[in-house]
Structure 1
Amino acid sequence: MKKKTSRIRRLRIDAAGSAMKHPGQGLTRGWLLAAILFCIPVFVLASPQVEEKLVQAEGMRSSEPVRLRHLLGELRDMEGQATPLQNARIRYLHAYAKAYAGEYDEAIGEARKLLAEADDVDVKVRAGGLIVNSHAATRNFAEGLRQLESTLQLVPGVKSDDVRWHIWVAAAVLYNQIGQYELGLEFSRKLEASPIKPRTKCFAGQLRLEALLNISGLPEKDSEITEVIDYCVEQKELVVANLTRILLARKWAAEGDRRKAIALLRRHLGEAEETRYPRLSVEMHGLLAQYLLEEQQIAAAEAHARRVTREASGIAFTLPLAMAHKTLYQIAERRNDVGAMLQHYRNYAEADKAYLNDVKAREMAYQIVRQETLQKSQQINQLDQKNQLLQLQSRLDQQSAQNTRLVVLLLVVLIASIGYWAFKVKRVQLSLKKLAETDALTGVCNRHNFTLRAEHSLAQCARAGEEAALVMFDLDHFKQINDRHGHQTGDWALKQVTQACQNFCRRIDALGRLGGEEFAFLLHGCDMRNARRMAEDCRMRIAGIDTRETGFDFPITASFGVTTTAVSGYSLAKLLSHADKALYRAKHLGRNRVCGTDDEPMVSVLGEAGEIPAVLAEDAALDGDYRAARLERAC
């Protein structure tokens, strides 16, 4: 029992906490469930014992959910004593209990069945309102709007004012939630103009202010807002009261009085957290982070923003989460923390995209239902203008056309689905092929792919009687770069070296990372002289890499070993072995040089001070296309 009570309490906290939403989005799941709780009217008595149980169940529906389930079980056993109307009320309460517990699909199914079978209009409207709220809670706004439209058509026949107000609250909540604030304002004003119950009046005032904020702005006088806050506090509706305080804080901040807004939010932050509604706390912390950053209170702003990211990490479509990541990004930018800036900006982009997609989905749902409504109205007007025979013929024609469209649509969907999945499979295949063939860090061939390409190129050269060269190089003192400056800097150095070397690689050549800081070229159709010249150009380009953008100043050099098929034959293994020996000879002779299998290591062209001569520096500045063309002519 204790575990079940805790589960229901968590559901209530999550539902009511979802009331925390940006003004542009209206109320969320907590409001939707709150809308379910409003008005359960008293029907004509038939069985006093059943009626007494019903009144008890309706009175404790939001305060004692476990006791409510027990009473519903007792009422189920008393169905034989109840009138049809009382049985309908019992069925409604069972559906309501499922919706309150988060079992929305089952609640919708039972409510639909009740809507179809009930004779009383009030029961039908209450069942329709439950379906509307459940669809909105599951973010199925299109179905919620369709149900709302059909339920509102029943309102003129409603006998109880409480039932009428109940569906009006549901309409105001749903329209605010999908961004149709004019309609939300219309229903909230209708509620305030009616002799509604005090608790309903609190909700109506907040809904009206929320709609006004997104239409023309909040009232100029703060007293109109504080009146709603005070009234909600009197009714002990602290969630709604603090949601209204958030609207007031936004108004003050927009008017330039951020300190006043900060003071208001801080004063009631503890009260909001005590409600244990996560979305309310998230909204307050998010606004405090934003306003404190604008007031240059960096540490406090960061603390509130991180609180938002912790509490709202599972809520992908909330604006406070996106703004919290943006605040953290701005703080990292002021601290010049590049890594943190990148991470927070990525998080901000993802959260903001999810939020905007959610906004678009709501707007799309409204437009779809609106278009459906217009089409229905047009069809009705056309049918009214025809006689009975023409109506029957029209229906037959429409049915035939509809069947044809369905067949065509099914074929189109089938063909599109086949094409789509074929495209997806091909993309996956290409992606996997690329992952299997390239080095994840540098983007060049990995050892396996380099081996395949090199062996293929050597086979072509062997058949054509052409010479090929293998250039192997290894970065000097690379371990010291990692140890002194970190692996992130080492990865940066590997990427820069790869970019520098790719400019010397033609389309028929192969460049690959053999492992760690070791790379190799397979040059198609090149002799020793041109291969050594290319290696020397590549060595100079590597030595000229500017490392200051990493925040450190350190040299990057490489030692090269060169061999050709004229010396080592067309076996890749022998080419690699000979080039490796030449590379280690370059290492032994002092590094940052080129050695070949002809035992004539090329002397470094750097000057005594380590500077590149002007002629070579100008040659090193040539772009990659020109170098590739020059190498092709030379080879």
Structure 2
Amino acid sequence: MAWCLLVPVVHGATSIAHPGEFLDQAERLRTKDHPQFLQMLERIHREGPQLSEAEQWHLRYLDAWETMFEGNYLKSEAAFHQIIEQSGDPVLIAKASGLLLSNLSINRRYEEAFALANRLASNLSAIKNPQVRFPLLTNLSQMLDFAGQTDLAVQYALMAQEAIPAGESPCRPLAAEAAALYNGKRLTSASPELQRAIDACLADHDPVLANSMRLMLGSLYIDEGHPEQALALLDRVAPSVRSNHYYPHMLSSRVERAQAYLKLGHVSEAKKAALEALAISQPDDTGEWLTDDYQVLYQVEKQQGHDAAALAYYEHYSSQEKSHLDDLRTKALAYDMAEQHFLVQKMQAERLSKQNSILKLQQSLTTKAIESGRLSIALLLVVLISVVFWLLRIKRSQLRFKQLSCLDGLTGISHHQHFIGEAQGALQLLEKRGGSACLIAIDLDHFKQINDTHGHALGDTVLRRTVAICQQQLRRSDLFGRLGGEEFCILLLDCDRDQGIALAESIRMAIEATLLDIDGVVVTFSASFGLASINPSGYDLHRLCRDADAALYKAKRNGRNRVVADTGNGSLATALA
């Protein structure tokens, strides 16, 4: 800290005698003291000392880093590509490649990011220099954590800890390990991995990463039922969060504070903190923190009996959660596609290598006797059969991947995006022939309580049993999809309102009568139903969904475990309860 305070005085009084050392010092201050980093960057540009070619590339790298930090991702991406392709410095290439991974991810160009990660990982075994290997391993860990590959992310973080170069802190690889474990639901507030990361980042005077780890600890306190400890921790980190102005920390600290207050029953304080988080949120933010914030506001308004406000916040929460889940599915799909492309390219390379071997073998066999010629034919047939086998295997994998991309991984029914597409097409065809249809929205009652009480494994069993019950009642022509979480939707084709109500009530009764006995624990559950029909909603899927959601909300507000249908005159009525 004393050195940091002396930097402006020394640099202001002397010229830049050693530009290389000056640039190294500036790079170390990027996240530790960002204002000082900007002053040093501005100074070296202003004074324009004589730089070697290596120092010029180092300065370009720092300029690109700052451009990305300011949010100009397109400009920084071009600079990173130039450094990777032209600098010839393996350390800068590794650092620029890692930042390019983050850049592509932020812009949601997931397939390009995962393809780049695959290329970097495939070359990793040949990289021995710790200055090159360390940043690559750290960034690969973060990227695989981003893709939801917890085991691989932890493995790369551990490898980065073993490759820490001289003079480098263990803060970043320890933080990458803790983040991967946290996102993989494998971390508790008492986990030693988290405390090691916090201690290392505090010792390294890196407030951004240290606050990330401490806010992670606060979230764990809340999840584990210790809101008082979470609030005490938030009070300790608040000055650092304010001074750094790092948006994710400013948002998440407010949301955590709102969640802690709500768990303590301090409704007014929870609402105040949640509204503060909402005020600083960005319009295009689809992150998990904003979803949690809307959930707090919904619960506060519901407890205070403000039904209209509660409904408005619930709609925001539902939309935010769906956007977040869609983004997660997009990332998973992009990761799988990148893996498939990498596998295909690898197989093509192997095939070309085999074909080259065959050509060389044929040239040598031409000089041999007839017996050797017969042997060459036999070998050629074996190789051709193996190529055909691999091509068939690739084709089968592609077909299976295409099928799985339309289905929800847990329940096996259509996921949100596929259901919406199929439903819109079906309604357009139905409108041409004037057929009837109903849309049923289903939401499991108190599902979060089931997860919190019995665990997510049993919650997944409840979701699969619900789907099985519904499928037993549906026809082959009906469309059935999972919209996200515990929400489902059914489009009944050639079905009028009364038939739809009867079917919904039949499903409701079957769910209510279901008992799950898991290791001696007997669990019952129920569901609420909202129904809309084309009379009067029409054939517009958006309006059908809106009317069904309104009916579903009334079913939940009137006590749950019931069917509510649109009456056809703009109001709602409980059909069966």
Normalised by the length of structure 1, the TM-score is 0.49
Matches within 5 A, 1:509-520: none
2:257 paired residue number? 288
Measure, in 2, the Cα distance between the counterparts of 1:286 and 1:360. Answer: 24
2:41 paired residue number? 68
Measure, in 1, the Cα distance between the counterparts of 2:24 and 2:228. Answer: 48
Relative to structure 1, is the Cα distance of residues 301 and 199 closer, same or farther in structure 2, using a 3 angstrom cutoff?
farther
On the 8 A contact 1:279/1:312 being kept in 2, the answer is: no
Partner of residue 102 from structure 1, selected from 67, 71, 81: 71
Instruction: State the 1:317 CA deviation.
Output: 0.7
Residues 1:262 and 2:239 aligned together: no
On the 8 A contact 1:121/1:158 being kept in 2, the answer is: no
2:130 paired residue number? 161
CA deviation profile, 1:445-472 (whole Å, cap 9, x unmatched) = xxxxxxxxxxxxxxxxxxxxxxxxxxxx
Measure, in 2, the Cα distance between the counterparts of 1:205 and 1:369. Answer: 27
On the 8 A contact 2:133/2:163 being kept in 1, the answer is: no
1:142 paired residue number? 111
2:328 paired residue number? 359
2:400 paired residue number? none
Matches within 5 A, 1:557-568: none
CA RMSD of aligned residues (A): 3.9
Residue 194 of structure 2 aligns with an amino acid whose one-letter code is I
Relative to structure 1, is the Cα distance of residues 352 and 387 closer, same or farther in structure 2, using a 3 angstrom cutoff?
same
Measure, in 2, the Cα distance between the counterparts of 1:168 and 1:332. Answer: 46
Residue 275 of structure 1 aligns with an amino acid whose one-letter code is N
Residues 1:205 and 2:178 aligned together: no
Relative to structure 1, is the Cα distance of residues 384 and 310 closer, same or farther in structure 2, using a 3 angstrom cutoff?
same
Matches within 5 A, 1:104-503: 104-158=73-127, 160-196=129-165, 200-215=169-184, 217-218=186-187, 221=190, 224-387=193-356
Instruction: State the 1:340 CA deviation.
Output: 0.9
Measure, in 1, the Cα distance between the counterparts of 2:260 and 2:203. Answer: 29
CA deviation profile, 1:515-573 (whole Å, cap 9, x unmatched) = xxxxxxxxxxxxxxxxxxxxxxxxxxxxxxxxxxxxxxxxxxxxxxxxxxxxxxxxxxx
On the 8 A contact 2:147/2:331 being kept in 1, the answer is: yes
On the 8 A contact 2:158/2:177 being kept in 1, the answer is: yes
Instruction: State the 1:64 CA deviation.
Output: 2.1
Instruction: State the 1:232 CA deviation.
Output: 2.0
On the 8 A contact 2:141/2:152 being kept in 1, the answer is: yes
Instruction: State the 1:235 CA deviation.
Output: 2.2
Residue 347 of structure 1 aligns with an amino acid whose one-letter code is H
On the 8 A contact 1:129/1:151 being kept in 2, the answer is: no
Q: Any stretches of 5+ residues in structure 1 without a counterpart?
A: 1-47, 395-419, 431-501, 504-622, 626-635
Instruction: State the 1:280 CA deviation.
Output: 0.9
- 1:151 partner SS: helix
On the 8 A contact 2:90/2:132 being kept in 1, the answer is: no
Measure, in 2, the Cα distance between the counterparts of 1:355 and 1:65. Answer: 34
Measure, in 2, the Cα distance between the counterparts of 1:311 and 1:248. Answer: 23
Residue 182 of structure 2 aligns with an amino acid whose one-letter code is L
Instruction: State the 1:154 CA deviation.
Output: 4.1
Residue 161 of structure 1 aligns with an amino acid whose one-letter code is P
Q: Which shifted more, 209-218 or 381-390?
A: 381-390
Measure, in 2, the Cα distance between the counterparts of 1:242 and 1:56. Answer: 23
1:459 paired residue number? none
In our comparison, the structure showing a higher alpha carbon Rg is: 1
Instruction: State the 1:67 CA deviation.
Output: 3.3
On the 8 A contact 1:141/1:362 being kept in 2, the answer is: yes
Residue 335 of structure 2 aligns with an amino acid whose one-letter code is Y
Instruction: State the 1:117 CA deviation.
Output: 3.4
Relative to structure 1, is the Cα distance of residues 193 and 106 closer, same or farther in structure 2, using a 3 angstrom cutoff?
same
Instruction: State the 1:214 CA deviation.
Output: 3.5
Instruction: State the 1:284 CA deviation.
Output: 2.0
Relative to structure 1, is the Cα distance of residues 165 and 349 closer, same or farther in structure 2, using a 3 angstrom cutoff?
same
Measure, in 2, the Cα distance between the counterparts of 1:212 and 1:109. Answer: 33
Residue 142 of structure 1 aligns with an amino acid whose one-letter code is E
Instruction: State the 1:369 CA deviation.
Output: 0.8
Measure, in 1, the Cα distance between the counterparts of 2:182 and 2:21. Answer: 43
Instruction: State the 1:110 CA deviation.
Output: 3.2
Matches within 5 A, 1:530-609: none
Instruction: State the 1:185 CA deviation.
Output: 0.9
Q: Which shifted more, 327-336 or 213-222?
A: 213-222
- 2:285 partner SS: coil
CA deviation profile, 1:110-145 (whole Å, cap 9, x unmatched) = 332343334444443333223223222323222122
Measure, in 1, the Cα distance between the counterparts of 2:264 and 2:221. Answer: 14
On the 8 A contact 1:173/1:207 being kept in 2, the answer is: yes
Alignment length, in residue pairs? 356
- 1:385 partner SS: helix
Relative to structure 1, is the Cα distance of residues 229 and 50 closer, same or farther in structure 2, using a 3 angstrom cutoff?
closer
Instruction: State the 1:289 CA deviation.
Output: 1.7
- 1:302 partner SS: helix
Residue 340 of structure 2 aligns with an amino acid whose one-letter code is Q
- 2:186 partner SS: coil
On the 8 A contact 2:157/2:177 being kept in 1, the answer is: yes
Instruction: State the 1:372 CA deviation.
Output: 0.9
Measure, in 2, the Cα distance between the counterparts of 1:216 and 1:347. Answer: 26
On the 8 A contact 1:118/1:124 being kept in 2, the answer is: yes
On the 8 A contact 2:215/2:253 being kept in 1, the answer is: yes
Measure, in 1, the Cα distance between the counterparts of 2:315 and 2:24. Answer: 53
Instruction: State the 1:146 CA deviation.
Output: 1.8
CA deviation profile, 1:251-288 (whole Å, cap 9, x unmatched) = 33333333333332344334323332232122122122
- 1:64 partner SS: helix
Measure, in 2, the Cα distance between the counterparts of 1:126 and 1:246. Answer: 27
Measure, in 1, the Cα distance between the counterparts of 2:18 and 2:243. Answer: 39
Normalised by the length of structure 2, the TM-score is 0.54
Measure, in 1, the Cα distance between the counterparts of 2:62 and 2:243. Answer: 29
Q: Any stretches of 5+ residues in structure 2 without a counterpart?
A: 1-16, 361-382, 384-420, 432-534, 537-566, 570-577
Measure, in 1, the Cα distance between the counterparts of 2:22 and 2:120. Answer: 28
On the 8 A contact 1:319/1:355 being kept in 2, the answer is: yes
CA deviation profile, 1:7-40 (whole Å, cap 9, x unmatched) = xxxxxxxxxxxxxxxxxxxxxxxxxxxxxxxxxx
- 2:170 partner SS: helix
2:470 paired residue number? none
Measure, in 2, the Cα distance between the counterparts of 1:219 and 1:198. Answer: 31
